[in-house]
Amino acid sequence: MIKVAITGNIASGKSAVQKIIQEQGYKVLDSDLVGHELLDKIPEIKTLFNEDDILNSDGKINREQLGKIVFGNKDKKIELEQIIHPAIKDEIMKFFDLNKSETAVFVGIPLLFESNMRDIFDKAVLIYTDDVTRKKRLILRNNYTPEYADARMAAQMSQDEKKLLCDYIIYNNGTLSDLETQVKVFLNQLSML
C-alpha cells in the first residue's frame, strides 16, 4: 500500500483534489475534518482555552473563534498543536490499518511538515496555488478581511519551502477541469510505482 499525503497551504484547493481522487475510487481521509471532530472530544483543549470565549451556546467549540485566538497568540497555537497533532496522527494510523488492502490511500494534511508527520507517508503531493489567488479565495470564501487572510497565510510554512520537500506538485491556478487533468496524470504516475 502506498500512503500519500496531500498537502498545501490554506485555500490552495486540497479539498477539490481530495474529491477528484475519491471520485477515482481511492480512499481519502481529510485530517482537517478529523481535527474538527476531535476538538470537542479532547477535554484538555477546553481546559487550555477556559479563559477565552470559544464555546457556542451548545457547549461545543466555536472553530472560527478558536482560530482567531490561536492565530493571534503563537504560544496558544503551539500548545493546541501539541495536543491535537498526536490525536490526528493516531486517527491517520487507524485509517492506514483499516485500508491496508488498498493499493494506495490518501490523507489530506495541510500541516504535513509543521506537524512532523512526513515520515508516516511514502509520498507527498503539494497543491500549489499562487498567493494572490489564495488570498482572493479566503476573502470571498471565508469572508476574511485582507489582514486576517494575510495572517492565516503567514502562519504556515511557505509553499516554496514545501515544494522542495514533496515528491509531486499539482498547480492549481487554472480551472477545475485543468486541476482534474493534473490529478489524473498524477494518479497515473503513482500507479506505475
Q: Is the pTM of this model over 0.85?
A: yes
What number is the average pLDDT over the span 17-38?
Answer: 96
pLDDT digits (tens, 9 = 90+) for 130-170: 999 999 999 999 899 999 899 889 888 999 999 999 999 99
Crossing angle of the two packed helices 63-70 and 31-39, in degrees rounded to 10: 100
pLDDT category of residue 121 using cuts at 50, 70 and 90: very high
Give the mean pLDDT of the chain. Answer: 93
Tell me how far apart the alpha carbons of residues 13 and 169 are, in angstroms, rounded to a whole number. 12
Q: Is the pLDDT of residue 67 over 90?
A: no
User: Does an H or E element contain 132, and which?
Assistant: helix 131-142
pLDDT category of residue 68 using cuts at 50, 70 and 90: confident
Tell me how far apart the alpha carbons of residues 137 and 120 are, in angstroms, rounded to a whole number. 31
DSSP state of 174: S
What number is the average pLDDT over the span 64-71?
Answer: 86
DSSP string over 55-83? B-TTS-B-HHHHHHHHTT-HHHHHHHHHH
Least confident of 60-64, 102-106, 119-123: 60-64
